[in-house]
Every structure is written in structure tokens, then in C-alpha cells.
């Protein structure tokens, strides 16, 4: 008989991965500092509950394993209690149903200069994308029709566009980041790594691969060709699902989430005897106690590899395994948070020799010195427990974990636990913790204060009646996060659209989505004054016909948004650009620009490109059989479209349509088709659908030109074309296909 492994589980977030033997850390300390709350002694399974929901950092690998075992022992008892109470209905095994944690910082700024001079906050980062440019190169992560490759294009100003190289990418490409000729590509590999990884029952591993590529730029600007092919510098494999990455200069922080490798199963009970009579509770307890004993034995036999995420590097064609690491690993209060995990890895693109490399290197990164076999890992940190979201800015990471609280004779309520980590370069320090009522939607940070939007479900006589949302401010008070003030926001009892913090102001796009036939949707742009953290207040509200997922600050105290506005008969909608005038009082609409239906406009901030001086921006517009990259001027008071660049799509002739469909093209056949208007219309319509047209995918504005990328899905043919700002309506200065 095949031996069964008892399924157990935990979730995890990671800060610095180092060798065993760290010291317990609490808010206000690093992993090498004194502990404010005692960690479990090595060899014991006791755990001291931290104050204010703060995280524990066990002092050694043994203490960490004991803490993880203790949590699973507790969850086993909870399963046992359910089985004793409901022996006739049975208890189901644990199932990991947690989705991916959200990025709860405001959206990163689009590429180009940070418009509006916004003060540093959670949004001032460059995010990953499938298209990037740095210095003299354009990078395209091609995934069209199953492609898995990176295309490198010479794009120096004043030089012809030229494809320098294409590199295959292992796994499904996700996005990339770049800096001065060095590229970081994130890709997803589903399933176990057969060379090194055996896996666990009921666990489907996923790996995030980070490929570091050096683009050899010597000679390419002058001669139009590279002196050698780009070189893969590193290939790293992190166990877990990639969420997002943020870049500030040379510093990159990547967030990876982990599903639990182990889940607790459930006892299978015999609730009746051979006579068909219900067994007494004592016999039920005997069966449950036996299941607890064997499950405890399985838990006790598990090692750190069953909890900590694996990290590997390919060296000399082989995968090198790194042993599980214990320092800077944080554990929540037992039983408080469900299984799940999150890791934050930091890379310095100017010092990648501090990454995984040759053996026997000891380097000071994160909060301590790593002395293990193998070069140090990228600095990181780990927190156990399912994370609902994380917000990053250049100086801090805020992780929030939520739970539903059910108490006797009380309506259910939500509670969010917040953990603040201060970041400096690749170092991280656990600074403070606190909890708030409700579920966090958005987090921002300014001058040491946290500004949040949180929501809570409303119940009246145990019946759900809608949502309540509020804006609140939190201060760091020693090692605790304490609430300073809050104000309720009327979101029409439903949705929350885009949110943007600008200085002491916050702008919230609300919506109440109503189904067809029940009237139009209602929305508003709400302005909040946060200048007094103890008394945030609403200072203005602008009713709008639609909501948006995008709010971007631009020069002149203005906000730019893209909205889908319903037609009067509610049968369809069309996209519009709105430019809001904002300030200390109520916002107003300063300018609008509308496209006719059935146009669509991308509302992902990565799809917008600003010129370096922030005076222009461009975005992708798509119609039924057409697309364009529309460029707008922001130097005046309103929105002025100055160009609409379309791919070079030559309309097919009737003969080309017939050849495309394999139909005869002799004069008699064409004459017969033209004599049948209905058949001709059908053929031309089908040709419109099948003809290999190119559609704009992205645009990039530079100081003197615009580069537009388009793709023909039918034959996976890309085109990159550059246009001069001196005459955007003229033919491209240069273009290249790949």
C-alpha cells in the first residue's frame, strides 16, 4: 500500500533569506537585534503571543520549525473539534482557496517623467511591463501566439531602428525591467523542477524565474550592430507565483506569493456500528484521537523544506539548490491567519555580484551577515500567513492580512492586521504593527504617516445591507501603528474605482454599478483633505456619468482619467479622457475628449507614455478593425490631440481576398461574384476579419520622437516605427519588422 502523507499547511511572506541562527525580531528591530517578545525556545512547541498582533521572528531554525509545527498542531485540534461535533456529516480536508494578494499601493506612474511633481509615496516606482526602453535600446517581451522570447532593438535617437538580438525565455514570459543595458525578465514555470524538486502531495508547484541579461552595447550605436550577442548573466528560480515588481533606479523589489505545500486532512470516521446504531461519543472520540496522534506524528516529521520556498540558480547547465533559510522569517500569532505566503526579494542591478553566484561568499545584506555554502541570495524577507495585499514605496513595505471575526450575538466583521517594514536599499527592518476594522483597499505613505482606504460590510439583523468605506490615517507610535483619524466616504453603497493621493489631498473615484434596465450607473470624484491627520474630511464631490480605474496627476494641479461613458440608450459606451482641475476645494472638469463607439482605450497606466518634460502623452486606441496611438498635448489648459498614428495597413483588393481564402481569381469567377451583391458582401466582410492587419500594442514618447509598436496577430509579425515630433503626420523616420 502506498504510504499517505498527512497534509498540513501554512502561508508565508519573506524578508531577508539567510542562514540559520538569527535572533527573534519584533517591530522596531532587525533580525540581529534584541526581541521585544520572547521567541519559542529551540526544542519546544510553545509560542508566546505577541502584543498588538505583531509578528514573531524565531531565534533559530529549530525555533522556527517548532513554531510552524505548533500552528499545525493547533489546526489539527480545530479539525478534530469539528469532527467530534459533526461526526455524522464529516469534515472536509483543508483546501487552499486563497487568491493572489493585491497590490494595494496606487498605480505606478506611466513611463516617462513623473508628471505633476508628486511627492514621493507608494506610487513613485517604475513597474514591470512587456515593453521597456533604456538609453539606446527598446526591449519587447514577445508572447504572441505562444512565443517566448525577448527582442532587443537598437533605438538610439537619430539612428535607424535595428533588431540586435532575440533570446528565448524559459517559461511563460510575464514582464521585464531594465537599466543601462541590463534586463531582468520574469517568467512563470508551472510544475515541479524535475532536476531538484520532488514536491508534496496535493501541492502543485509554480516557479518564478528571473533571467538577468546583459546587453553588449559596444559599437551598436555607431555601427548599427552589436559587437556580440546579449549574454545571460544569471538564471534564478524562486518557488512561488509572481505578483509584481517595482524599480527605483538600480533597486528592484519583486513580490512573490506562495501557496502552502502542506494542508491538513480530515479524519474519516465510522459513525455507526455493524448493527447500524449510532456510536456513542466515546467511540467517536477514540477515532478522532487516533487521527490526531498520527497527524501529529506526520507534522513532527516535517522539516523546513515543507514550509520555506525553494530558491535555485542554474550554474554550468545544472540547478544549484539553496538550503532553507531561517533569519528574517516572521510568524504571525497562531491560528490568526490562514495558509498562504509572500516573499519580497530585492535586487541591485548595479551589483548583481551580491546575488547567487560562486560558493563560499559571506556578504552583509539585509539585516545580517550570511555565511552559508553558496553566495548570498538577493536580500529578502518572509512572513507566514496568507497576505491579502502589499504596498511598496521606495522606503517602506506595508503588508496587510485580514480575517473575518464572528462573535456570539454580534454581526460578523472584518479586521486587517498591518505590518510596516522600513526599507533602505536592499535592507529591511520590521518597524511597527497594528490592526484596523474592515478590509484594506489602498495604502499610501507620506511623511511617516499611513493613509488608507478601508471597507466594511454592513449587516442589519444578520442580513447583509451593503458596504461602508472610510479614509483613515495611521501613525507610527513606537512599535505600534495607531489610528489618528478617519472619515466616512459615501461610495453609493457599492464600488470603488481609482484612488490617487497627491500631497495632502486624496481623490477617490466611486461608482454604483446598476444592471441594464435599472437606470444608468452613478459615479463621483470625491476630494478628501488629509492635511490634518487627526481630522480627514471630504471637501468636494463631482458627480460623473461613469467611473474609472485610473487617476494620474499631471502638471498644473490636474488629474487625468480614462472613463467608459454610457450612451444615452445604455446600449453601448464610448471612451473619454477627462482632465480634472483639482486643488484645495471641489474638483471640476477642465477638459474632455471623446472617441466614438465601439472604440476602446487601455486604462492600464503602463499603456500611457509621457514625454520627458511631461508636456505630451500618448495612449493606445482600438476600434473594430483599426487601431492607433493617439498623442495629446498638455502644455495648454485643455486636452489637444496632436496626432493619431496608425499602423501601415494596406487594404486588400478583391483578388487578394480571394487568394487569401483559396478561391478562384480568374475573370469569369470574379465577374460572377460581383454579379451577386450578397455573396460579394459576405466575402469582403470575411476578408476584413481574416486579413492580417497590425494593431498598436504600445507607444513610447521620447524627447524628439515617438516609437510605436504594432502586431499582426495572424502571422505574429511585429513592427516598430519611429516618428519625429517635428511632423508626426509624416511617414516614419525608420521602421523594422521582427
| DSSP tag of 85 | H
Rounded Cα distance between 338 and 99, Å, is: 12
Cell matching residue 645: 498614428
Residue 447: partners with Cβ closer than 8 Å, 6 or more residues away: none
Runs of H (alpha helix) within 401-452: none
Task: Dihedral sign for Cα 643, 644, 647, 649, please.
Answer: negative
Nearest-CA neighbor of 265 among 2, 78, 1, 70?
A: 78
Cβ atoms of 182 and 190 within 8 Å: the answer is no
**What are the beta bridge partners of residue 236?**
210, 313
Specify if 730 maps to a domain.
yes
Cβ atoms of 289 and 258 within 8 Å: the answer is no
Residue 399: partners with Cβ closer than 8 Å, 6 or more residues away: 13, 342, 383, 387, 389, 390, 418, 419, 421
Rounded Cα distance between 679 and 582, Å, is: 56
Cβ atoms of 239 and 207 within 8 Å: the answer is yes
Rounded Cα distance between 484 and 204, Å, is: 44
Specify if 711 maps to a domain.
yes
Cβ atoms of 495 and 487 within 8 Å: the answer is no
Specify if 348 maps to a domain.
no
Specify if 411 maps to a domain.
no
Q: Cell 533569506 sits at which residue?
A: 17
3-state secondary structure of 333: coil
Cβ atoms of 585 and 148 within 8 Å: the answer is no
* Phi, psi dihedral angles at 696 (to 5 degrees): -60, 135
Rounded Cα distance between 630 and 617, Å, is: 8
Find out whether the peptide bond into 307 is cis, omega within 30 degrees of 0. Answer: no
Q: Which residue numbers in the chain have pLDDT < 70?
A: 1-52, 107-125, 216-228, 323-324, 352-377, 460-462, 464-466, 491-494, 512-521
Q: 691 exposed, middle or buried (CB, 10 Å; 0-12, 13-18, 19+)?
A: middle
Q: What is the pLDDT of residues 569-591, one digit of tens each?
A: 777 788 899 999 997 778 999 99
Cell matching residue 707: 516609437
Range of the domain at 696: 654-737
Rounded Cα distance between 154 and 152, Å, is: 7
Rounded Cα distance between 414 and 456, Å, is: 6
pTM exceeds cut of 0.75: yes
* Phi, psi dihedral angles at 52 (to 5 degrees): 60, 25
Residue 667: partners with Cβ closer than 8 Å, 6 or more residues away: none
Strands 552-554 and 480-489, sheet pairing:
unpaired
Number of structural domains (the chain) is 1
Radius of gyration for the chain, computed over Cα atoms and rounded to the nearest angstrom:
29
Rounded Cα distance between 133 and 161, Å, is: 13
Q: What is the pLDDT of residues 467-491, one digit of tens each?
A: 788 999 999 999 999 999 999 987 6
CA 393 to each of CA 450, 479, 623: distance values in angstroms, whole numbers, following the listed order: 12, 20, 36
The terminus-to-terminus CA distance of the chain in angstroms comes to 56
Instruction: Report which secondary-structure segment, H or E, holds 133.
Output: strand 131-134
Q: Cell 451593503 sits at which residue?
A: 466
Specify if 600 maps to a domain.
no
Residue 95: partners with Cβ closer than 8 Å, 6 or more residues away: 263
SS3 content of the chain, % helix, strand, coil (to 5): 15, 45, 45
Nearest-CA neighbor of 237 among 340, 355, 137, 353?
A: 355
Specify the pLDDT at position 722: 95
Specify the pLDDT at position 244: 92
Specify if 166 maps to a domain.
no
Specify the pLDDT at position 170: 95
Specify if 732 maps to a domain.
yes
Cβ atoms of 634 and 112 within 8 Å: the answer is no
Specify the pLDDT at position 392: 87
Specify if 673 maps to a domain.
yes
Rounded Cα distance between 652 and 660, Å, is: 10
Amino acid at each position: 500500500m502506498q504510504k499517505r502523507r498527512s497534509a498540513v499547511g501554512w502561508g508565508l511572506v519573506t524578508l531577508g533569506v539567510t542562514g540559520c541562527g538569527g535572533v527573534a525580531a519584533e517591530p522596531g528591530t532587525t533580525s540581529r537585534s534584541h526581541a521585544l517578545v520572547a521567541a519559542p525556545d529551540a526544542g519546544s512547541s510553545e509560542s508566546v503571543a505577541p502584543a498588538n498582533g505583531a509578528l514573531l521572528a524565531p531565534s533559530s531554525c529549530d525555533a522556527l520549525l517548532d513554531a510552524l509545527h505548533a500552528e499545525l498542531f493547533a489546526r489539527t485540534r480545530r479539525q478534530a473539534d469539528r469532527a467530534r461535533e459533526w461526526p455524522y456529516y464529516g469534515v472536509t480536508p483543508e483546501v487552499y482557496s486563497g487568491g493572489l494578494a493585491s497590490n494595494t499601493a496606487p498605480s505606478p506612474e506611466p513611463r516617462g517623467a513623473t508628471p505633476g511633481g508628486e511627492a514621493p509615496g507608494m506610487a513613485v516606482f517604475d513597474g514591470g511591463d512587456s515593453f521597456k526602453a533604456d538609453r539606446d535600446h527598446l526591449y519587447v517581451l514577445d508572447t504572441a501566439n505562444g512565443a517566448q522570447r525577448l527582442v532587443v532593438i537598437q533605438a538610439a535617437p537619430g539612428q535607424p531602428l535595428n533588431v540586435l538580438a532575440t533570446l528565448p525565455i524559459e517559461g511563460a514570459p510575464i514582464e521585464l525591467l531594465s537599466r543601462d543595458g541590463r534586463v531582468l525578465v520574469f517568467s512563470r514555470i508551472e510544475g515541479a523542477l524535475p532536476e531538484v524538486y520532488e514536491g508534496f502531495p496535493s501541492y502543485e508547484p509554480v516557479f518564478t524565474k528571473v533571467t538577468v541579461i546583459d546587453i553588449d552595447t559596444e559599437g551598436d550605436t555607431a555601427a548599427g550592430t552589436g559587437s556580440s550577442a546579449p549574454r545571460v548573466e544569471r538564471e534564478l528560480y524562486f518557488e512561488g507565483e509572481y505578483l509584481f515588481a517595482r524599480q527605483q533606479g538600480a533597486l528592484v523589489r519583486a513580490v512573490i506569493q506562495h501557496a502552502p505545500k502542506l494542508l491538513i486532512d480530515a479524519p474519516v470516521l465510522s459513525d455507526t456500528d455493524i448493527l447500524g446504531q449510532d456510536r456513542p461519543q466515546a467511540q467517536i472520540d477514540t477515532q478522532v484521537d487516533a487521527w490526531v496522534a498520527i497527524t501529529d506524528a506526520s507534522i513532527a516529521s516535517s522539516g523546513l523544506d515543507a514550509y520555506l520556498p525553494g530558491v535555485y540558480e542554474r550554474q554550468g547547465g545544472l540547478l544549484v539548490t539553496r538550503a532553507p533559510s531561517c533569519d528574517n522569517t516572521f510568524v504571525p500569532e497562531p491560528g490568526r491567519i490562514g495558509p498562504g505566503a509572500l516573499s519580497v526579494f530585492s535586487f541591485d542591478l548595479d551589483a548583481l555580484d551580491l546575488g547567487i553566484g560562486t560558493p563560499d561568499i559571506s556578504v552583509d545584506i539585509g539585516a545580517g551577515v550570511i555565511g552559508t555554502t553558496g553566495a548570498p541570495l538577493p536580500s529578502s524577507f518572509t512572513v507566514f500567513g496568507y497576505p491579502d495585499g502589499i504596498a511598496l514605496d521606495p522606503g517602506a513595505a506595508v503588508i496587510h492580512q485580514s480575517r473575518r471575526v464572528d462573535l456570539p450575538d454580534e454581526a460578523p466583521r472584518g479586521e486587517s492586521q498591518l505590518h510596516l517594514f522600513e526599507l533602505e536599499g536592499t535592507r529591511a527592518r520590521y518597524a511597527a504593527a497594528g490592526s484596523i476594522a474592515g478590509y484594506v483597499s489602498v495604502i499610501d505613505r507620506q511623511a511617516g504617516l499611513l493613509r488608507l482606504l478601508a471597507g466594511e460590510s454592513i449587516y442589519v439583523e444578520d442580513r447583509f445591507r451593503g458596504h461602508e468605506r472610510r479614509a483613515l490615517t495611521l501613525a507610527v507610535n513606537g512599535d505600534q501603528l495607531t489610528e489618528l483619524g478617519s472619515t466616512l466616504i459615501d461610495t453609493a453603497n457599492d464600488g470603488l474605482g481609482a484612488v490617487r493621493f497627491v500631497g495632502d489631498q486624496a481623490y477617490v473615484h466611486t461608482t454604483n454599478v446598476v444592471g441594464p434596465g435599472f437606470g444608468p450607473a452613478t459615479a463621483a470624484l470625491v476630494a478628501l483633505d488629509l492635511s490634518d491627520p487627526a481630522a480627514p474630511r471630504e471637501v468636494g464631490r463631482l458627480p460623473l456619468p461613469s467611473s474609472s480605474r485610473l487617476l494620474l496627476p499631471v502638471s498644473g494641479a490636474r488629474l487625468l482619467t480614462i472613463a467608459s461613458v454610457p450612451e444615452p440608450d445604455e446600449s453601448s459606451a464610448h471612451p473619454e479622457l477627462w482632465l480634472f482641475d483639482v486643488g484645495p476645494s471641489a474638483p471640476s472638469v477642465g477638459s474632455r475628449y471623446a472617441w466614438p463607439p465601439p472604440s476602446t482605450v487601455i486604462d492600464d497606466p503602463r499603456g500611457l507614455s509621457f514625454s520627458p518634460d511631461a508636456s505630451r502623452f500618448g495612449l493606445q486606441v482600438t476600434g473594430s478593425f483599426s487601431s492607433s496611438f493617439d498623442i495629446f498635448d498638455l502644455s495648454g489648459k485643455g486636452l489637444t490631440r496632436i496626432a493619431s498614428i496608425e499602423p501601415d495597413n494596406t487594404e486588400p483588393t478583391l483578388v487578394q481576398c480571394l487568394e487569401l481564402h483559396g478561391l478562384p481569381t480568374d475573370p469569369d469567377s470574379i465577374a460572377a461574384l460581383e454579379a451577386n451583391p450578397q455573396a460579394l458582401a459576405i466575402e469582403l466582410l470575411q476578408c476584413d476579419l481574416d486579413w492580417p492587419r497590425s494593431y498598436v500594442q504600445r507607444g513610447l514618447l521620447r524627447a524628439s520622437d515617438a516609437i510605436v509598436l504594432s502586431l499582426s496577430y495572424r502571422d505574429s509579425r511585429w513592427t516598430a516605427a519611429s516618428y519625429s515630433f517635428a511632423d508626426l503626420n509624416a511617414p516614419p523616420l525608420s521602421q523594422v519588422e521582427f
